[in-house]
Structure 1
Amino acid sequence: MTDSSSASSLIIGGAASSSRAPLPTLPPLALYIHIPWCVRKCPYCDFNSHTASPVLPEQEYVDAMLADLDQDLHAVYGRELSSIFFGGGTPSLFSAEALGRLLEGVKQRIPFADDIEITLEANPGTFEQEKFVAYRKLGINRLSIGIQSFQQEKLKALGRIHNGDEAVRAAGMARQAGFDNFNLDLMHGLPDQSLDDALSDLRQAIDLKPTHISWYQLTLEPNTVFWNQPPVLPEDDTLWDIQEAGQALLAEHGYAQYEVSAYAQPGRPARHNLNYWSFGDFIGIGAGAHGKLSHPDGRIVRTWKTRLPKDYLNPAKSFQAGEKALTNDEMPFEFLMNALRLTAGVESRLYPERTGLPLESLDEHRREAEQSGLLQVEPSRLAATERGQLFLNDLLQKFLS
C-alpha cells in the first residue's frame, strides 16, 4: 500500500500529475449504523444479515457501537453530522429505547446539524404503530420501507415475511406516526414477472404517495441462495420494456430520477445517499459496516468493521477488521463510480476538492469517454450521457489506470 501523501509523481490517465494536495475543505460527514439481524434471511440478499434469536442483545450491541464510534472520533475534525442512516438487517427489530440510547450517545460525541436527516430501514412485517411513534419522537425523521413487491406470489418467491396488505398498511402507519418523508423500496425483474406485474407494483407504490421510491432490478449475487439455485427471471426484452415503461410512469407522477435506481419528489432526494455518491465522508459502526474518511493532509481511507455479530461483541476482538488508504491511481475510479451514478453527475470542481488531485489528471480518459458517447461533453460537470448511464461499467472501465 503506497502512502497517499507521498511526494512522488504518478501517471494518471496518461498524464503526469503531482502528488495529492492537502484537501482545501473536508467533505460533509455522515454516519452509517449497521444492525445485522433479520427475522429471516432472504434468498437474494448478500448484505451482512443474520437470523435473529428470540432475544436480541440490544444493550450489549449499543455499548459496542458507541465504543466503536469512540475509535473513529479522531477523524471527525470538528465536523457535525449531516445525516445518519440505520441499515441492516432490519433495524426496526430494535426497540425505541435502544435506538434512543444510541442516538443520545452519538450526539454526545458528534454534534448534529440543525436539519439532520435520520433514516431508519424498516420492513412491513416488523411494523408496530406504537413503536414507530416512539421512533419519530427520537428525532428519526425518515423511513425506508422494504416492500419489494405487493404481489403475494412474488413476495413468497423472494422469501419476504410480509404480504401485500401489510405493505400497504405500513405506509399508512408511517404517515400516522408522523413521518412525512419516507421511501418505498421496490424491485423489478422478479421471477416470472411480466410487464403488467411490474407496473402494477409501481402504481400501487405511487398510490401510497411516498416522497421517494427506490426501484431497482433484482440481480443474482454470489453467496446467496438465488446464486446457487437461480430462479427463472424475465427475458432481456421484458426487462428492457419494464425499465422504459416504469421510468415513464414514475416521471408522469412527479418522481424525478436522480440516480440509477432512485426517484424522488421535488426536494426529497435522500441526503445521506447524495453525500455518499458525491464522495462525502461517512463513519460506519456496527458489524460489517464500511466507512470512508478524509484527512486534512489528503489521505482518504476506507475502513471496514468486524463482520460477525459474535466477533463484534467479543471484547477480545478489534471492532475494525481492516482499512485501506486510497492511492492516487485508484482515485479516478473510486470517485467516479459514485458520482456517475447520479443522473446529473457532479460539478467538475468537486473532483479536486474531494480528492486533492488536479482535474487535469482526468483529461485523457475523459476525452476517450466523451468520444465514446458515454460521458457528456461539458467542462463544468462530470456526468454520464443517457447511454453512459445504461453502460456505466463500460464508462467506469475507462478511468481504471
Structure 2
Amino acid sequence: MTTTNMQLPPLSLYVHIPWCVQKCPYCDFNSHAQPEIIPEAQYIACLLDDLAADLRYVQGRKLTSIFIGGGTPSLFSAAGIQGLLQGIEALIPFNPNIEITLEANPGTFETERFAGFADAGVTRLSIGVQSLQQQQLQRLGRIHNSEQAQIAAQHASTLALTSFNLDLMHGLPEQTLATAMADLEGIIALNPPHISWYQLTIEPNTMFASKPPVLPNDDVLWDIYEQGHIRLAAAGYEQYEVSAYGKPRHRGQHNLNYWRFGDYLGIGCGAHGKITLPDQQQIIRTEKVKHPRGYLDLTRNFVFKQWQVEPDERVFEYFMNRLRLLEPVPKSEFSAFTGLPLDKADKALADSIRKGFIENTAEHWQTTATGRLYLNQVLSDLLTEDN
C-alpha cells in the first residue's frame, strides 16, 4: 500500500493504578479489590521503571498531558503522587502548560486528600459522582452518598486547580426522564468547569452482564439525551465530544489528544499505549501486564504484548477516534498522522458522505447533526468498506 511521510503527533502519558475498594457491577476496567496494605511505594517504583523502558518512544517530545486513572488513584497518598510526578518529569520533560488529571472518588477519605493532590502537582481532578440519588448509587455499587459527592465537588472548586470534571451517568436502571434531569440539575448546580455525561452501557464480563438490570427503553433514552443536551447548553456547557461538555477553555486536553489520534505512553497494570514511528512508517500499540502480582514481579517484562497497526487498519482507527469530536477534521492531518494517502479516507467515508452523515469540503470532514446521532453506523460503514 502507498504511504506518505508521517509526522509525530503530541505525546501524552496514561498511568494506571489498579486498586479499588470494591468492584462496581458496571465496570469493565482493569481494577482489583485493594489488599489490606496497598504496595504504593513498590508500585510507583515499577511505574517509573516501566516508563524508563519506554523512553525510546518519546523521540524528543515533551509531555502535553498526564492522566492518572484506575481503579481508584485517590487511594494513593499525596506524597506518593508527588513522588510519581517528580519521577516522571525526571525522565520526560513537561510542556509548560501540561494538564495533569487524577481520577478520584467522592468518599470522605479521598476528599480529604484533594488539597494534597493539588499541592503535589495535579492540575485537574476527575471525580466519579455517577449519580446524586442514593438508590442509584447503591445499584451502581458506589460507596459514597449524595452528600459526599456534593462536598467533594464544592471542595474541588476551592483548590488551586486549573479545572475539575464531574462524571455523571444517565440511562440508569429504571431511570425516568424526570429523575435523569434531576440528577443533571444537581450536577449543574455544583458548577463544575467540565461534565462527562454518558450513558450506562452493559459491558461483557461485568456483574450487570450476568444479571442485567432493567434499563430505560430507547424512547426514554432519547428524551433524556435530547433534554439533557439542551439543558447543558443553556447552562453554558459546550459539547465538544460525544459525552464531554466543558465551559469555555475547560476542554479535557488529555482525552482530546486521544481523539485527535495523538500518541500516548501507557504505564501500569493493563495500560495501553499508541506510538508513531515516522522513520519506520509504523504505528505500534502496547499493552502492559494486567494483574498487579505479575506487574510487580521484577523478573518479568512489563510489556504483555505489542503489535503494529497495519496500514489497512489505520483508516478505521483514525476515524473511530477523530469522529467522536464535533470539530472539523483537517484533511491534511489524516495523511500526516496515518501515513496514508487522502484517497483512502475519501473512499472509506464515501457511503457516510452520501447518506448525509459526514460533511465533505476541500479542507475537512465533519460529522453532521444527523451523523452524530448515527455515529455507530458511520463506524460500521468504515469497518465494512474494503480499504
TM-score greater than 0.5 by the shorter chain: yes
Q: Specify the SS of the correspondent of 2:185.
A: helix
Match of 1:337, as an amino acid? Answer: M
Match of 1:251, as an amino acid? Answer: A
Q: 2:313 aligns with which of 321, 330, 336?
A: 330
Q: Report which stretch shifted further, 356-365 or 319-328.
A: 356-365
2:198 equivalent to 1:224: no
* Deviation of the 1:378 alpha carbon: 2.4
Q: 1:340 aligns with which of 319, 323, 329?
A: 323
Q: Distance in 1 between matches of 2:75 and 2:33?
A: 11
Q: Distance in 2 between matches of 1:163 and 1:181?
A: 23
The aligned counterpart of 2:367 is 384
1:64-119 per-position Cα deviation (integer Å, ceiling 9, x unaligned): 11111011100101100000000000000000111111111110110000000000
Q: Distance in 2 between matches of 1:70 and 1:317?
A: 15
Match of 1:316, as an amino acid? Answer: T
Q: Distance in 1 between matches of 2:121 and 2:329?
A: 30
2:104 equivalent to 1:144: no
Q: 2:143 aligns with which of 154, 161, 166?
A: 161
The aligned counterpart of 1:72 is 54
**TM-score relative to the length of structure 2:** 0.97
Q: Specify the SS of the correspondent of 2:184.
A: helix
**TM-score relative to the length of structure 1:** 0.93
Q: Specify the SS of the correspondent of 1:269.
A: coil
Q: Distance in 2 between matches of 1:126 and 1:339?
A: 37
* Deviation of the 1:385 alpha carbon: 1.6
Q: State whether residues 171 and 216 of structure 2, in contact with CA within 8 Å, keep that contact through their aligned partners in structure 1.
A: yes
Q: Specify the SS of the correspondent of 1:206.
A: helix
The aligned counterpart of 1:371 is 354
2:239 equivalent to 1:257: yes
Q: Specify the SS of the correspondent of 1:83.
A: strand
2:93 equivalent to 1:111: yes
Q: Report which stretch shifted further, 360-369 or 49-58.
A: 360-369
Q: Distance in 1 between matches of 2:109 and 2:233?
A: 29
Q: Distance in 2 between matches of 1:336 and 1:113?
A: 27
Identity of matched residues, %: 51
2:152 equivalent to 1:199: no
Q: Distance in 2 between matches of 1:339 and 1:127?
A: 37
Q: Report which stretch shifted further, 128-137 or 115-124.
A: 128-137
Q: State whether residues 216 and 261 of structure 1, in contact with CA within 8 Å, keep that contact through their aligned partners in structure 2.
A: yes
1:120-164 per-position Cα deviation (integer Å, ceiling 9, x unaligned): 000101554552211111211101000000000000100000000
The aligned counterpart of 1:93 is 75
Q: Distance in 1 between matches of 2:339 and 2:139?
A: 47
2:329 equivalent to 1:320: no
Q: State whether residues 93 and 126 of structure 1, in contact with CA within 8 Å, keep that contact through their aligned partners in structure 2.
A: no
* Deviation of the 1:367 alpha carbon: 2.4
Q: Distance in 1 between matches of 2:257 and 2:136?
A: 33
* Deviation of the 1:235 alpha carbon: 1.2
Q: Specify the SS of the correspondent of 1:383.
A: strand
Q: Report which stretch shifted further, 275-284 or 353-362.
A: 353-362
1:327-379 per-position Cα deviation (integer Å, ceiling 9, x unaligned): 11101001000000001242111101111111122222322211012111323
Q: Specify the SS of the correspondent of 2:360.
A: coil
The aligned counterpart of 1:13 is none
The aligned counterpart of 1:14 is none
* Deviation of the 1:395 alpha carbon: 0.5
Q: State whether residues 376 and 385 of structure 1, in contact with CA within 8 Å, keep that contact through their aligned partners in structure 2.
A: yes
2:30 equivalent to 1:48: yes
1:3-14 superposed matches below 5 A:
9=1
Q: Distance in 2 between matches of 1:218 and 1:128?
A: 24
Q: State whether residues 301 and 325 of structure 1, in contact with CA within 8 Å, keep that contact through their aligned partners in structure 2.
A: yes
Q: Distance in 1 between matches of 2:210 and 2:350?
A: 41
1:14-25 superposed matches below 5 A:
18=2, 20-23=3-6, 25=7
RMSD of Structure 2 on Structure 1 (CA): 1.2
Q: State whether residues 259 and 325 of structure 2, in contact with CA within 8 Å, keep that contact through their aligned partners in structure 1.
A: yes
Structure with bigger RCO (C-alpha 8 Å, 6+ apart): 1
1:230-245 superposed matches below 5 A:
230-245=212-227
1:174-231 per-position Cα deviation (integer Å, ceiling 9, x unaligned): 1223235100000000011111111111111111111100001000000000000000
Q: Distance in 1 between matches of 2:361 and 2:299?
A: 53
* Deviation of the 1:398 alpha carbon: 2.3
1:13-68 per-position Cα deviation (integer Å, ceiling 9, x unaligned): xxxxx1x2332x31000000000101110000000011112210001100111111
Q: State whether residues 92 and 126 of structure 1, in contact with CA within 8 Å, keep that contact through their aligned partners in structure 2.
A: no
Match of 1:355, as an amino acid? Answer: T
Q: Distance in 2 between matches of 1:65 and 1:126?
A: 27
Distance of aligned partners of 1:129 and 1:220 in 2 relative to their CA distance in 1, 3 Å threshold: closer
In the alignment of these two chains, the number of paired residues is: 383
Q: 2:152 aligns with which of 170, 173, 177?
A: 170
Q: State whether residues 157 and 192 of structure 2, in contact with CA within 8 Å, keep that contact through their aligned partners in structure 1.
A: no
